[in-house]
Amino acid sequence: MTEQIQSNPLREGLSSRAVPQPCSIVIFGATGDLTHRKLIPALYNLAADGELPPAVAVVGVARRDKSDEVVRKELEEAVRKFSRQNVRDDIWKTFAQSLFYHRTEFHDLKGYESLAERLKQLDKERGTRGNRLFYLAVAPEQFDDIVANLKAVGLNHAEEGCWARVIVEKPFGTDLASARALNRIVSASFSEEQTYRIDHFLGKETAQNIMVLRFANAIFEPLWNTRYIDHVQITAGETLGVEGRAGYYDKAGALRDMVQNHLLQLLCLIAMEPPTDLDADSIRDEKLKVVRSLRQLAGDMVTKNVVRGQYSAGAINGKPVVGYREEQNVNPQSTIETYVALRMHMDDWRWADVPVYMRVGKRLPKSATEISVHFKKAPPVLFNKEAVTIDQNVLVVRIQPDEGISLRMQAKIPGTSLRIEPVKMDFHYGTSFGKPSPEAYERLLLDAMSGDATLFARRDEVEQAWAFIDPIEEEWQAQKEKGLCFYAAGSWGPDEADELLTRDGRAWRRL
Amino acid sequence: MPAVAETFSLGAPVEIGRIEKELKKLWAQGEAAAMTRASLINLAVYSDEPGSLGKNTQLMSQLTEDHACRAIVIEADSTAKENIAEAWISAHCHVSRAGSRQICSEQLSFRLGGPCTTLLPSIVFSHLDSDLPFYLWWQTELPKKIDPHLWSWVDHLIYDSQTWPDYAGQMQLVETAKKEADQRIVLCDINWTRLDKIRAAVAQFFDHPGAHHHFQTIDDVKIAHAPGFHSTAVLLAGWLAAQLKWTEGRRDKSSLQFSGGGKRQIMVQLQESAGEPISEISLRSGSTEFAVKHSAGADLLVVTRHDNGDKRMDQRMPAGKNDPVALLSDQLMRGGVHAVYLRVIEQVRGLI
C-alpha cells in the first residue's frame, strides 16, 4: 500500500489495500466449472464494485472451438446463475467487452505463439500494459504443457516495468513427491515470487480476521499458550456427499482434499507467532514454522492418533442418503476416507502439551467450519470445587457459515442459591455488518493482480504440509481396509473419533 | 415490541429518566419474538429543523440495515419560550442476511425546546451505549456557543459543509471543537464523502507508473457542478492540489488557479450545470484528456481517456448516490483520521 501511495498520490486514503494493476488475465480451463462458478462471477463482482481496473482483459483459453461472442454468452449465463449480486445489463455489457476466447490444445506451441500475439494486441487496444496473470484452472497433469509452452514463447517473463504471474489451483500434488514434481514444473518457468498457489479458505473474511483477533487485541495473546490453553479443535463438516466430484474424491480422500491444505492453513493462522510485519513472506515464514513443528505421525502413531471413516447409508435433514460406496462413480470396494479425525501436537515452546484435534467429514449433520480454543479450567477452589462441574472457557472462530466469534464463560444464574451456568458472548458478522463479505476468489484475484502474496501458499509451506501427511497415507495404504471405520450419514462421525478425545478426558465440541 | 420503524413511528413515549428501564422491557419482549439487539456505535443526529424527528427516524430505519447502532435522534428548538423535553424509544428491525432472525437497533428520540436545549450534553452522555464509539451528526449550522464538554465525548463529528452558508465561519467552529477535544475528534464531512467515487475514478487513471509523468504536465482542469455544489467542486480541486503539490491557490469568479512549480500554472474551471453534484471532471495533460462523467440520475460513472483525440478507454465505475443514507453509510464504513481531507481543508481555505 505504501508503495502505491508513493507512486500514485491520488490513491491516498481511498483504499486501505494495494490497488490492482491493469493486466490481462489468461485463464487456462476457460470452459471448466471453476471458471464458470467462481472466477468469472468473481471478476464481474469486482467490476460491479469498481474494484477492477478498467484496463483489464480476460482471455479464456481452452481446446474447444468457440468465438468470443459464444463464450461471452455462456459466461453471462454463468454469472447470472452464480454471482453473489444481481447482474446489471449495463455493467455486464462493459465487462463483456473485456472477455476474449483463445482456442488451443494445451500442448500446441503454435497456440501459445498466437496467444502471445493476441496479448500484445490487447495491450494496445485495452491498455493492459504488458502485465499478465495466468490462471491454471486445469488438472495438474496439464500444468507441464502449459507452463513449458508459456516459457517457450517468452510469456513467463514480462517486459521491463511489467509483470507476469501464475496462479496455481489446488490440489498441489497428491503427496510430497508429486508436489515437488509440480513445483519443479512450475518453477522451471516461473520464479517463486511469480507463483501464487491459491487456497480459497485463506480468502474468507473470518480466516483473515484470525490474525486481527490475535494481534490487534491485547487480551488474547498473553493467554495464547500452553499455560492457559487446554486444547484446540478444528472442525470442517459438510452435509454434502461427493456430489459430482467422485472421480477426484475417490482418489484423494478427506485427508488430502481438506487437511493438507485448508485445515493446516487454519491451524497455522491460529498457532503462528506474531510476524515482524505484515509482509507476505514474514507471515508465511511464521506459518511454515507451525507446520514444521507438527509432531510426525507414522506407523503405530497413526493408529493411535488418526481415525479414518467412511459414511454408510443414513439420513441428512430427514432425507435418506446412500452410503459412500453406493455413490455414482465410486468404487464399491473403496477404502477412501470421507472422514478423518486427528490428534496432533506442535513441538514448540508455545504449544507444548496442547493437543490439536482436527476433524473433517462429509455427510455430517451440519455444514460448518470453525476453530475452537478451549482454555484450562479455573483452579479447583471457590466455585470450581470437585462436586461442581464448571465448563471451560471456549473461544470459537466460525469460518463458515455465519462467520463470527463467540466466547463461552461462566455466569451465576439469578436467584438466592449459587448456581453457575455457561453463557455465550457472540459476535456475528451478519448481525453487526449489513454489507456482505466479498467472495474469497474476489479478494484473492485482486491480491494477485496487485502483487500481494500474503494469502497464497508458498512452495515450502505446501511441501512441508505434504511431509506431514505422507506418512499417514502410507500407513493407511499398508493397513488397507483395516482401520477404516464406518459412520452413518447424518451422524458426527465414527465412535472411534469420539474415543480419540474421550481417552484424553475431552470431548468434541457440540456444533 | 412497541414500535418497529417501518412505520417511521417515534415509538413509545417515555420519561427521560426511565429510558434505560423501558429499553430493557422492550428487549425482553423482543427476545420472545426472536429479535437480536445489535450495536456497533452510538450515532446521535442533531437538528434544529422543525419536523426533523420524523425525517431522521426514516433515515435511521434505512441506515441501520447496514450499520447496527444505538441511534439518538434529537430535534431542538432553542427559540421556544417554554421548556420542552420529550422522549420516545423504538427499534429498527431487519431480517438478517442469513434470514433466520431479526436484527434490531434501538432508537432514542428527543424533542427539546427552550432553555433545556442547553442540556444537550447531559442528555446525550447519559444515554450512550458504553464502550462504543460516539458519532455525532450535526445536521444544521453549528451554533457559536456549544458546551465544550460535548466535544470531550465525541469521537467522530459528521457534518455536510455543502449546506453551510458561511463556510469559513463554520469551519472555524469545527476546528475549535477539534481543538477542545485535543485533536482527537475525527472530522467527517459528507461533502467530502460525496467525492469518494469520483476521486477513485480519477485516481485509477494514474495507478500505472507509466501514467505518472502526467502529474507534471496537467495544466487544465474542468469541473462541472450542480447549483449549490460550488464548495463540493472546490474540495475536488483542493484534493488535486493537495495531492499533486500545487500551491498558491487563487480564485476568481468561475475559476481557480494554482502553481505547479516553476512557470507551470494550472487553471481549474468551475462550471455550474444542472444534474449531479459533480457531473463531470476532466484533466488535460498535453494531448491527453482524462474524463469522468456522471449523467443525471445514473449510478455509474463513465470513465474515458483520450489520446490525441482517440478514445482509449470507455469504462463504467460505480457512482455514489447523493442521498443522505448512502453518504452516511459510506462515511461509517471508513475508518482512520481522513488525513487527506485535513490537507484539503488547508488548500481550500479562502477559496470557497
Helix (H, G, I), strand (E, B) or coil at A465: helix
Kindly provide the b/e burial profile for residues B315-336, where b requires at least 16 CB atoms within 10 angstroms of the residue's own CB. Answer: bbbbbbebebbbbbbbbbeeee
Residue corresponding to grid cell 482418489 = A251
Kindly provide the b/e burial profile for residues A27-47, where b requires at least 16 CB atoms within 10 angstroms of the residue's own CB. Answer: bbbbbbebbbebbbbbbbbbb
Amino acid at A208: Q
Distance CA A346, CA B225 (A): 62
3-state SS, one letter per residue, for B225-240:
ECCCCHHHHHHHHHHH
- For residue B18, the tally of other CB atoms under 10 A from its CB is 12
Q: What is the DSSP string of A198-254?
A: E-GGGGSHHHHHHHHHHHS-TTTGGG-STTTEEEEEEEEE-S---GGGHHHHHHHHH
Q: Is the dihedral of CA B24, B28, B29, B35 positive or negative?
A: positive
Over the stretch A77-97, which tens digit does the pLDDT of each residue have?
999 999 988 999 988 998 999
B67 interfacial to chain A (CB closer than 8 Å): yes
Contact B244 A10 (CB under 8 A): yes
Over the stretch A214-254, which tens digit does the pLDDT of each residue have?
999 999 999 999 999 999 999 999 999 988 788 889 989 99
To the nearest 10 degrees (0 to 180), the angle between helices A40-48 and A89-96 is: 120
C-alpha cell read off for A65: 472451438
Which residues neighbour B209 within 8 Å (Cβ) at sequence distance 6 or greater?
Answer: A7, A161
To the nearest 10 degrees (0 to 180), the angle between helices A176-187 and A459-479 is: 150
B24 interfacial to chain A (CB closer than 8 Å): no
Distance CA A62, CA B169 (A): 65
Grade residue A506 by pLDDT with cuts at 50, 70 and 90. Answer: very high
- B101 to chain A: closest CA residue: A431
Distance CA A384, CA A393 (A): 13
pLDDT of residue B272: 95
Distance CA B204, CA B197 (A): 11
Cα distances (angstroms) measured from residue A429 to each of A384, A432, A447, A490, B31: 34, 5, 22, 28, 20
3-state SS, one letter per residue, for B98-111:
CCCCEEEEEEEEEE
Chain centre distance of CA B136: 11
Contact status, residue B277 vs residue B320, Cβ threshold 8 Å: no
Contact status, residue A238 vs residue A254, Cβ threshold 8 Å: no
Contacts of A94 in chain B (CB under 8 A): 314-316
CA dihedral B154→B158→B164→B170, nearest 10 degrees, is 30
Contact status, residue B139 vs residue B148, Cβ threshold 8 Å: no
Distance CA B89, CA A465 (A): 56
Chain centre distance of CA A431: 24
Q: How far apart, in Å, do the first and last CA atoms of chain A sit?
A: 39
Contacts of B335 in chain A (CB under 8 A): 16
pLDDT of residue B276: 95
pLDDT of residue B265: 94
Higher local confidence (pLDDT), A277 or B32: A277
Contact status, residue B60 vs residue B74, Cβ threshold 8 Å: no
Contact status, residue B170 vs residue B161, Cβ threshold 8 Å: yes
Grade residue A386 by pLDDT with cuts at 50, 70 and 90. Answer: low
Q: What is the DSSP string of A321-338?
A: E--GGGSTTS-TT----S
A482-511 average pLDDT score: 93
Q: Which residues pair with A333 in a beta bridge?
A: none
Grade residue A1 by pLDDT with cuts at 50, 70 and 90. Answer: very low
pLDDT of residue B309: 64
Contact A431 B208 (CB under 8 A): no
Comparing CA positions, the residue from A212, A108, A495 lying closest to residue A339 is A495
Contact A94 B202 (CB under 8 A): no
Q: Specify the range with the lowest mean pLDDT, choosing from A205-209, A480-484, A499-503, B58-62.
A: A205-209
- For residue B114, the tally of other CB atoms under 10 A from its CB is 16
Helix ranges, A273-364 (H): 280-293, 300-305
Question: Hey, of B36, B187, B204, which one would you mutate to test binding to chain A, going by the most A CBs within 10 A of its CB?
Answer: B204
Distance CA A453, CA A18 (A): 11
pLDDT of residue A470: 96
Distance CA B63, CA A7 (A): 36
C-alpha cell read off for B320: 455514489
Distance CA A359, CA A342 (A): 6
Distance CA B107, CA B14 (A): 12
DSSP secondary-structure letter at A294? B
Q: Which residues pair with B94 in a beta bridge?
A: B103
Contact status, residue B116 vs residue B77, Cβ threshold 8 Å: no
A216 interfacial to chain B (CB closer than 8 Å): no
Per-chain mean pLDDT for chain A: 91
Distance CA B345, CA B83 (A): 39
**In terms of DSSP bridges, do strands B218-225 and A56-62 run parallel, antiparallel, or are they unpaired?**
unpaired
Quick one: residue A355, left, alpha or beta (phi over 0 = left, psi -120 to 50 = alpha)?
beta
Contact status, residue A303 vs residue A478, Cβ threshold 8 Å: no
Highest mean pLDDT of the ranges A53-57, A484-488, B30-34, B77-81: A484-488
Q: What is the pTM of this model?
A: 0.83
pLDDT of residue A5: 41
Contacts of A19 in chain B (CB under 8 A): 204, 207
Over the stretch A246-268, which tens digit does the pLDDT of each residue have?
888 998 999 999 999 999 999 99
Q: Which residues of chain B have pLDDT under 70?
A: 1-8, 31-32, 97-100, 309-313
Distance CA B217, CA A101 (A): 38
A332 interfacial to chain B (CB closer than 8 Å): no
Distance CA A358, CA A497 (A): 10
Active site residue A262: yes
Distance CA B131, CA A285 (A): 36
Contacts of B338 in chain A (CB under 8 A): 13
pLDDT of residue A387: 60
- A436 to chain B: closest CA residue: B97
A329 interfacial to chain B (CB closer than 8 Å): no
Distance CA B261, CA B267 (A): 13
Contact status, residue B268 vs residue B275, Cβ threshold 8 Å: no
Distance from the B260 Cα atom to the nearest Cα atom in chain A, whole angstroms? 15
Whether A2 has a pLDDT exceeding 50, the answer reads no
Which residues neighbour B334 within 8 Å (Cβ) at sequence distance 6 or greater?
Answer: B193
Contacts of B319 in chain A (CB under 8 A): none
pLDDT of residue B115: 85
Distance CA A218, CA A227 (A): 17
pLDDT of residue A4: 45
C-alpha cell read off for A330: 465410486
- Of A262, A345, A374, A428, which residue is the catalytic one? A262
Contact status, residue A335 vs residue A478, Cβ threshold 8 Å: no
Cα radius of gyration rounded to whole Å, chain B: 23
Comparing CA positions, the residue from B270, B231, B233 lying closest to residue B252 is B270
Distance CA B61, CA B64 (A): 6
Distance CA A319, CA B199 (A): 54
